Structure 1
Amino acid sequence: MSKMPLFVYFHLFLLFSISVPSRVISETEQTILLTLKRQLGDPPSLRSWKPSPSAPCDWTEIGCGSDGAVTKLLLSSKGITTSKSLPSTICNLKNLLMLDLSNNSIAGEFPTTLYECSNLQYLDLSQNYLAGAVPADVDRLKTLTYLSLGANSFSGEIPAAIGNLPELQTLDLFTNNFEGTVPKEIGNLSNLEGLGLAYNLKLAPWKIPLEFRKLRNLRRLWMTRCNLIGEIPEYFGDIFTNLVRLDLSMNKLSGSIPRTLFSLRKLRFLYLFSNRLSGVIPSATMQCLELIDVDLAKNNLTGSIPREFGELKNLSTLHLYENHLFGEIPVSLSQIPTLKYFRVFSNNLSGTLPPELGLHSKLAAIEVSDNQLSGGLPEHLCAGGALIGVVVSSNNFSGVLPESIVNCPSLATVQVYDNKFSGEVPLGLWTMSNLSSLILSNNSFSGPLPGQVFWNIARIEIANNNFSGGISVGITSAKNLGFLDARNNMLSGEIPRELTQLSKLTALMLDGNQLSGALPSEIISWQSLNTLTLSRNKLSGQIPTAITALPRLAYLDLSQNDISGEIPPQFDRLRFVFLNLSSNQLSGKIPDEFNNLAFENSFLNNPRLCAYNPNIHLDNCLTKTASAAPQSSNSSSNSLALILAATAVVLLAIVSLVFYTLKTQWGKKHCGHKNKVATWRLTSFQRLDLKEINFLSSLTDNNLIGSGGFGKVYRIASNRPGEYVAVKKIWNREDVDDTLEKEFQAEVEILGNIRHSNIVKLLCCYASENSKLLVYEYMENQSLDKWLHAEKKSPTGLSWPTRLNIAIGAAQGLCYMHHECSPPVIHRDVKSSNILLDSEFRAKIADFGLAKMLSKPGELNTMSALAGSFGYIPPEYAYSTKINEKVDVYSFGVVLLELVTGRKPNMRGEHACSLVEWAWEHFTEAKSLTDAFDEDIKEPRYAEEMANVFKLGLLCTSSLPSTRPSAKEIMQVLRRCCHSGSTRRRVGNEFDIAPLLSDPRYVCSYKESNAATNNSSW
């Protein structure tokens, strides 16, 4: 056999010595990772981890070096849930450089097992449930260049040992519960480029240490709302020459803004809003060549806006609102080629707007309301074609609106109310395709209303102007119109019948015009109408009966017209918050529902109208009837007596007939048989030892325990001594068709089969042609709202531990509905009055009268009409009919705020607003959270838990449905509340975390989303 040359053996040896170890490394680390996967609970997101010759380097979560060794383990947002310490198996990956476990559900303390990862350079544990103190020997991770512990629940002091990590370039400790002050040793991190200490609300008041002067490489300094006090150090502008982002907002800084800040040539983002800074804005040294965003809003700044701002040629955002600035707006601002957002509202600015504003940049938003500006609007606001909003209200602007404004296809809102504008509104403004709100009230606009309005517009306010002529039928093209306020103009003619086709209309206000003719009689499409005010016109005819079929009508004012005829007796169907029919020509008697002092001023100055209640300022119907007969004849008295006697006989006969009819109904043996006498159909879901006949005799006022818009609720004794059931009686509308009846039965079937300890059991349903009886388990302690908001609270009240358990129980019921039911259930009316409490104060969700089934999890469902209760309705109802489970999350967030604050969802008096608006304002103004707590339960030992639930309530009531947590996440946070002490913010990167709770730039979106229902800033 021939011999192989020696050099061939040598090459084979080299090949063997290189390839075999690489394969061995791969197989060994594959085993380590599969073991780690099991130790982490086999997350479904890691199902792709399967043994193969190319594994693990072909797994998407793994990064390998050139030798095949694992160097990166990227497990962010993988649904990892563990309460144990991280497995030491991780550090068996000897070449591991990068470990990312962010945005999971990892609980427990800081994982000291990672000390064994001797080469680790990058460690991200942010957005988890880690708690406890960061260990004092954290500097054992001596090779780290990146450390992020943000959005956890770490407490105690920030260890000084962090300053002993010499290679560290990024340190993020934001959104935790750290106490004490920030260690000056951080100043030793000379390589540090990013420092995030934002949203550590428990830090003691602290000043920026002098030692921070050594951080010469800083590019990002993020210290929003971390209890900073004192002045901004002068050395910032001299030392931090590499600074790109500086965010010191929402602290208690004082003094003036250092002039040197504006000499930072690389600075792009400057946020100093919501502090106590004062003085003038520095002007002489603006050399920030790359400055993009400047937010100095909500301070106590005085003086004028420096003209040197115009030299910031990269400036995109300039926010100076809510200060004490005066003087004119510099013309130089209009020369900035990149300016997009210009907000200076709520100052004392005067003069005119720069005439070239918008000409040299793609201006997107201008907000200058609440100043003393005058003159006209610039012609070129939309020259860049990107303008979204024009908000110039509450100034002294005059002249006509520029015609150029109609050449702005992107325009979404125009708010020019409370000014001195005049002339006709440019015709094209009414038909702009993206315009959703047009607010022109309190000016001197004149001319006719347009013949056509674009379908997308949702809100029109033109009150207190000089518009004249008729209301064109072309307004019906605005299919999305929900709010129309045209009060106090000179409109004439009849109310067009076509106006009733606007099915999304919630408010129609036409008071103080010259409208005439009769009210439209076909108004069935106004199913969403809440407010109808037509007072001080010349309307005649009768009140149409169809108005009583509007299910949401709560405010009705038809006063000071010439309306005649009787008030439709069906008026008692409506539940009015305000009713005014005074100063008309109405006749007959007022409906029995209104014979009380709550409506004593609703019917004044109707000479031919009478009431049976002597306290109502109308003629008494009995006296009026008697006086109508001849007074001189004795026979008249006898006739009256005979009439009364005959009436009594007739009434007795009617009562007997009704009793006989009901007895016949209950005596029927066959269910489902329809005839003129109502028969009862039983649908049973539980074993119930109660006979039907017991219900009828017990449905009396003595057993009444509650009532609402859908019926009355009675407490009925069962056949077992001491046990009760709750019976809800719902009257049917006469025009319900078979399809709706089948839908009701199908829904009852589904709800009746729900089995969960935190949902009230539906025991059975009795249905007839005229009414339905829903039989529930009885809850001894009734509803949560009676314990929170009753005028006479129980002396024992609800302690905080009890309230927290109630929140957890309700969250568990909500989680079951959204995540475990198939199909999922949307309640649509979650509120404290629909959370019932049993004898041990266990919470159970009740009243599914508005519940709807979704065909697929997460799928949007179209609702034809607004559902829910005021104070609990999410803002997306104002602009969308598409809803999902997040509507319940919003409503539940309101309940959480009720539990913490003890306040009602709709507040009255000095703070007349919704609880949600009040809570967000309280939080964003950096007020003490303890000031928001219910005084009845405020104790220092519960302060942390109550603060966490308050914040969770804010997150649930976020204006954007996509940013609200799921019911499952809510339940997990509440369960961990007393241990973790902090909620988690699920976000994608460091700059997105602040907006999820406190950043006013984000909170503005909350206000914007409410623009359709609240006339506030855009």
Structure 2
Amino acid sequence: MTLIPPPPSLPTPVHIFISFFFIAAVEFSGGSSQHFLTSERTTLLHLKQRWGNPPLLRNWNASSSPCNWPEILCNTNGSVIILNLLSKGVAGPIPPFICDLRNLENLLLYNNYLTGEFPTVLYNCSKLTEIDIGYNFFVGRLPDDIDRLSGIKWIELGGNNFTGNIPPAIGNLSALLSLSISNNLITGPFPSEIGNLSNLLSLTLSYNRFLEAVIPPEFGKLSKLKNLWVDNCNLIGEMPESLGNLSRLEWLSLSSNNLEGETPSGLFRIKNLRSLYLYKNNLSGKIPAVIESLNLFEINVSWNKLNGSIPDDFGKLKKLVGLYLFRNQLSGSIPIGISQIPTLRGFRVFNNNLGGELPPELGIHSKLEEFDVSGNKLTGKLPENLCSGGTLFTVIVFSNNFTGEIPRSLQSCHKLRSIQLHNNSFTGEFPPGIWKLSNLSTLRITGNFLSGELPNTISKNLLVLEISGNKFSGRIPEGISSCTNLRVLKASNNLLSGEIPTAITNLSQLFVLHLDGNSLSGELPSEIKSWNSLTTLHLAKNRLFGQIPPAISYLQSLLDLDLSENHFSGEIPPQLSRLSLNTLNLSSNKLTGRIPSAFDNLAFKNSFLNNPALCSSSSISNLRNCYAKSSHPHKIFAMILFLSALLILITILWTLFVIRRHQHVRDLTWKLTPFYKLDFTEANILSGLTENNLIGSGGSGKVYKIKIGKGGEYVAVKTIWNPRKLDHILEKEFLSEVHILGTIRHSNIVKLLCCISSEDSKLLVYEYMENQSLDEWLHGKKREPHCLDWPRRLQIAIGAAHGLCYIHHECSPAIIHRDVKSSNILLDSEFKARIADFGFAKILTNSNLGQTNTFSAIAGSFGYFPPEYAYSTRVHERVDVYSFGVILLELVTGKEPQKGDVDMNLAEWAWRHYSEGNSMVEALDPKIKQDSSYMEQIRLVYKLGLICTRTLPSSRPSMKDVLGILQRCNRLSEGEKKKVLNEKNIDDLDSKV
């Protein structure tokens, strides 16, 4: 990942304003003249009114001096010189009378809702030196006479919808110090006239869709330029040699383009160059051997076609923090000097042709954080001191030719999160201390010659454990049950023995379990219902015996079952027919009887080989025909008689239970707490709690659809039963939360009409949603392409974003949902989205589990969990943002959140798919990718889903930003769909995953 964030594009007075504003405001306001105080206050109040009276400007009033307002800075005469309205919610066009602020120098309107074309009205603000209107909703072309802003020094236009060309007249703004037009719809070429801006310090043109633009050689004349950012702009051709003339350049980023040819050698001779980003282009040739840019702290030239060796001169870069050369064609060995760079934190050179041994001093002189040399031809041992600085969190060296033992020093590397050593030739006993590393989430050591026993204590945060193809022996320890978050366990082809411990059935999050090719014995545990997420179960080539447990039929997610080459006996449980298996292998066992009808067909013809006592009713080859008539009719009659009696008994008992339960419901004392005017009573609701009205159930209770009134209206009633009397504090807290949510009034949040409560139960009454949940339409029985086309999916995403934006940004205090998922997005008759189920049922159900009975306790559903849930219980708005990002990925890919791939959830899979450069079209739901007219909208939402599911919470956008991007996407005209709006720098994350 990139260790140093991009710098601000310009050293604007915004930063000066923040640092001295309060002192200056007090000092200057005292000398303000009455004239300026009166006239400019009138202008400002008029502006406030014209811009919709935003709540954040509540301090603006007719009785106070503007110089005392937080957003204003005045000069010594009491006249406004800075108007700072960053993120203040102002909306509408910029009116002409703004220039009545005759001394206005800095106009800062970043991140608002301003509209219209480029504000040429600002031509009349004669003293204006800075314009910041970035991240608004401006449209149209930049004016050809933009040079009328003759005194301007700073221009920020990024994050709007400007189209057309950059006017050549911009080269006449001789005073210009900073120019930013990133994240727009600019399509024209770069005007060479920009090269005339001799005072320019910063130039940012990133994230536009220029029509195969070429970098003008005239850019080499920008002798004072410090920052040049032209990422993702469809650049073609070669980089001009003149870029090497930019002697003051500090930051250069030309990533995610189509540049070709060799890297100009002059770039590496720029003394002040600090950061060089050229990744994801088509650059070829060798990296220049002579490097004089000794101030470089980050080099990223990954995802190119560079060849040759890594220059020895890289070892001279004593300030280098990150070196990223992955996915090239580099060969030769890694220079020893790189191991002696004291500042080095990130070293990623995977997927090259590098050979030889690693420098033995790696990690001794620097505090490495990430180390990835996978996919090369490296040999020898891993350096013993990789983690001597104690900061390493990834060691990724798979698919090389490493030998020897794994360094024992890794046992004390407590920050390690990922160890991937698979497909090498490591030998010896696996260091036992590594199993206990508290932050370890991924351990992949498959395909080596490692030995030892599995310890009883294993890291609780482990998500992926792959040890197949080694020489591990002994029993599977009972302590495996402590790995409650484990999703993938692959231990095939080892020397494991003994029984499969019952404790392994406690791993309820498992997706994949491979224990085949060992010497395991005993019966398969029968209590395996908790494996409700399991998709793959491989237990072949062991010594297991006994009957196949019918409980396997409860594993409704199971797709791949292999129990072959064991000693299982008895009949195949007919309950297995409930499963939707893609592959089934029960061959080479001792099974008897008939094959269940669901598998008695040619699709499973090889699934039952070498079971002589099995028979087939459909004459599957290699199996005998089942007898047409039984030789024991009296036994069959007795069995039928017994089952009939048992059925009658169960019916009687169930009838008594239902009668008693309904009597209990009627006998309770119920209290109705309304949040809207109701046309029904609690009696209407209680009488409707019948099995005929049941439409769903969950962990905390059931959901009923109940008709009210004579007009045919329905409500949805969620029941929450708790057999124990509720704690008084818990009861009070629950009602408080319900009251808060009951007072929410928003068109994209399901109405909570009332709460009906008794001593041991609660009934939550909601408006009924005719089309049920988004989950049903994406993954359930209602999956019909004509009903959920792309425009409707985008409509649903925008509606849900509106609801979340409201609770995050407009409720006081802010409300965090904590369980955002597609099954909690309900759809009305017109497919308008409503956010539902704010999780307060968990307050009640958790009371019996000894859990924290607070609304801030951890909630959520697997697949929607953000990564920080593995190490923190802190709840914040960005938890909802992550979950919403997963929903966006569901809408685009059609995949379920838990099923991105065999060992990854959807978010992890999407990031992997994107970072490996795979085609986005391959990832799309087949139901929507047929209509190419929406492809750019789909592409944007796909990338927005990736942004929302970033690992670091602080790097995710707010729901306000997410909503803004979706709204812009929805407003794209047919002609504009060729250009993606506001991609939020997603492409430069390819090397940071």
TM-score, reference length from structure 1: 0.76
Change in 2 beyond 3 A, CA 1:246/1:963: closer
Tell me, what secondary structure is at the counterpart of 1:147?
strand
Change in 2 beyond 3 A, CA 1:882/1:712: same
1:203: how far off? 1.7
CA distance in 1, matches of 2:504, 2:783: 43
1:262: how far off? 2.2
Letter of the structure 2 residue corresponding to residue 221 of structure 1: L
Aligned to 1:209, which of 191, 196, 216? 216
Change in 2 beyond 3 A, CA 1:591/1:729: farther
Equivalent position of 2:358 in the other structure:
353
Letter of the structure 2 residue corresponding to residue 863 of structure 1: I
Change in 2 beyond 3 A, CA 1:537/1:797: same
Aligned to 1:373, which of 368, 374, 378? 378
Equivalent position of 2:142 in the other structure:
134
Task: Check whether the contact 1:207–1:229 (CA below 8 A) recurs between aligned residues.
Answer: yes
Letter of the structure 2 residue corresponding to residue 480 of structure 1: N
Task: Check whether the contact 2:943–2:986 (CA below 8 A) recurs between aligned residues.
Answer: no
1:222: how far off? 1.0
User: Are positions 1:868 and 2:861 aligned together?
Assistant: yes
Task: Check whether the contact 1:930–1:947 (CA below 8 A) recurs between aligned residues.
Answer: no
Tell me, what secondary structure is at the counterpart of 1:959?
coil
CA distance in 2, matches of 1:795, 1:980: 23
Task: Check whether the contact 2:540–2:566 (CA below 8 A) recurs between aligned residues.
Answer: yes
Change in 2 beyond 3 A, CA 1:589/1:731: farther
Change in 2 beyond 3 A, CA 1:424/1:572: closer
Change in 2 beyond 3 A, CA 1:479/1:411: closer
Aligned to 1:888, which of 880, 900, 913? 880
The more displaced of 380-389 and 324-333 is 380-389
Letter of the structure 1 residue corresponding to residue 985 of structure 2: L
Equivalent position of 1:333 in the other structure:
338
Letter of the structure 1 residue corresponding to residue 92 of structure 2: S
Letter of the structure 1 residue corresponding to residue 461 of structure 2: N
Could you report, residue by residue, the CA deviation over 1:202-256 in whole angstroms, capped at 9, with x for unpaired residues?
A: 221111224434323222211111111111112222x322222221111111111
Equivalent position of 2:654 in the other structure:
658
Equivalent position of 1:812 in the other structure:
802
Q: In the comparison of the two structures, how many residue pairs are matched?
A: 922
Aligned to 2:82, which of 68, 72, 76? 72
Task: Check whether the contact 1:596–1:613 (CA below 8 A) recurs between aligned residues.
Answer: no
Task: Check whether the contact 1:589–1:621 (CA below 8 A) recurs between aligned residues.
Answer: no
Aligned to 1:914, which of 900, 906, 909? 906
Equivalent position of 1:226 in the other structure:
233
Letter of the structure 2 residue corresponding to residue 613 of structure 1: P
Tell me, what secondary structure is at the counterpart of 2:529?
helix
Alignment of 1:326-725 (within 5 A): 326-382=331-387, 387-402=392-407, 413-425=418-430, 437-445=442-450, 466-468=451-453, 471-473=454-456, 475=457, 478-521=459-502, 526=507, 528-529=509-510, 531-540=512-521, 542-544=523-525, 546-549=527-530, 555-558=536-539, 561=542, 573-577=554-558, 578-580=560-562, 593-596=575-578, 598=580, 601=584, 607=590, 613-614=596-597, 615=599, 637=633, 641=637, 644-645=640-641, 647-659=643-655, 661-663=657-659, 665-666=661-662, 670-672=666-668, 687=679, 696=690, 698=692, 723=712, 725=714
CA distance in 2, matches of 1:173, 1:70: 27
Equivalent position of 1:96 in the other structure:
104
Task: Check whether the contact 1:362–1:383 (CA below 8 A) recurs between aligned residues.
Answer: yes
Task: Check whether the contact 2:754–2:766 (CA below 8 A) recurs between aligned residues.
Answer: yes
User: Are positions 1:85 and 2:94 aligned together?
Assistant: yes
1:850: how far off? 8.6
Equivalent position of 1:197 in the other structure:
205
Change in 2 beyond 3 A, CA 1:175/1:418: same
Structure of greater Rg: 1
Tell me, what secondary structure is at the counterpart of 2:800?
helix
Change in 2 beyond 3 A, CA 1:860/1:36: farther
Aligned to 2:986, which of 984, 998, 1005? 998
CA distance in 1, matches of 2:69, 2:742: 47
Change in 2 beyond 3 A, CA 1:299/1:493: closer
Could you report, residue by residue, the CA deviation over 1:734-788 in whole angstroms, capped at 9, with x for unpaired residues?
A: x976559988986888878866543455778999999999886554445445655
Tell me, what secondary structure is at the counterpart of 1:136?
coil
Equivalent position of 2:17 in the other structure:
none
1:198: how far off? 0.7
Change in 2 beyond 3 A, CA 1:825/1:263: closer
Letter of the structure 2 residue corresponding to residue 118 of structure 1: S
Could you report, residue by residue, the CA deviation over 1:343-378 in whole angstroms, capped at 9, with x for unpaired residues?
A: 221101112223444445444433221111112233
1:515: how far off? 4.5
CA distance in 1, matches of 2:165, 2:468: 60
Task: Check whether the contact 1:825–1:853 (CA below 8 A) recurs between aligned residues.
Answer: no
Change in 2 beyond 3 A, CA 1:823/1:520: farther
Tell me, what secondary structure is at the counterpart of 2:986?
coil
Task: Check whether the contact 1:944–1:981 (CA below 8 A) recurs between aligned residues.
Answer: no
CA distance in 2, matches of 1:550, 1:597: 14
1:691: how far off? 7.7
CA distance in 1, matches of 2:640, 2:127: 102
Tell me, what secondary structure is at the counterpart of 1:421?
strand
Equivalent position of 2:832 in the other structure:
842
1:185: how far off? 2.3
Letter of the structure 2 residue corresponding to residue 305 of structure 1: I
Letter of the structure 1 residue corresponding to residue 322 of structure 2: T
CA distance in 1, matches of 2:780, 2:563: 32
Task: Check whether the contact 2:796–2:831 (CA below 8 A) recurs between aligned residues.
Answer: yes
Change in 2 beyond 3 A, CA 1:560/1:724: farther
Could you report, residue by residue, the CA deviation over 1:272-292 in whole angstroms, capped at 9, with x for unpaired residues?
A: 111111122222x43324333
Identity among equivalent positions (%) equals 43
Equivalent position of 1:261 in the other structure:
267
CA distance in 1, matches of 2:932, 2:440: 50
Equivalent position of 1:174 in the other structure:
182
CA distance in 1, matches of 2:232, 2:962: 24
Equivalent position of 2:3 in the other structure:
none
CA distance in 1, matches of 2:342, 2:665: 84
TM-score, reference length from structure 2: 0.78
Task: Check whether the contact 1:730–1:773 (CA below 8 A) recurs between aligned residues.
Answer: yes
CA distance in 2, matches of 1:545, 1:815: 46
Change in 2 beyond 3 A, CA 1:853/1:695: closer
Could you report, residue by residue, the CA deviation over 1:41-76 in whole angstroms, capped at 9, with x for unpaired residues?
A: 5555555667899x5556554444455544333333
Could you report, residue by residue, the CA deviation over 1:115-149 in whole angstroms, capped at 9, with x for unpaired residues?
A: 22211112222233333332232222110111111
User: Are positions 1:240 and 2:232 aligned together?
Assistant: no
1:849: how far off? 6.9
Tell me, what secondary structure is at the counterpart of 1:278?
strand
CA distance in 2, matches of 1:340, 1:545: 49
1:197: how far off? 0.5
Letter of the structure 2 residue corresponding to residue 548 of structure 1: K
The more displaced of 588-597 and 128-137 is 588-597
The more displaced of 126-135 and 566-575 is 566-575
The more displaced of 594-603 and 957-966 is 594-603
Tell me, what secondary structure is at the counterpart of 1:326?
strand
CA distance in 1, matches of 2:904, 2:436: 35
CA distance in 1, matches of 2:188, 2:445: 52
Task: Check whether the contact 2:180–2:205 (CA below 8 A) recurs between aligned residues.
Answer: yes
CA distance in 2, matches of 1:147, 1:24: 30
CA distance in 1, matches of 2:333, 2:273: 26
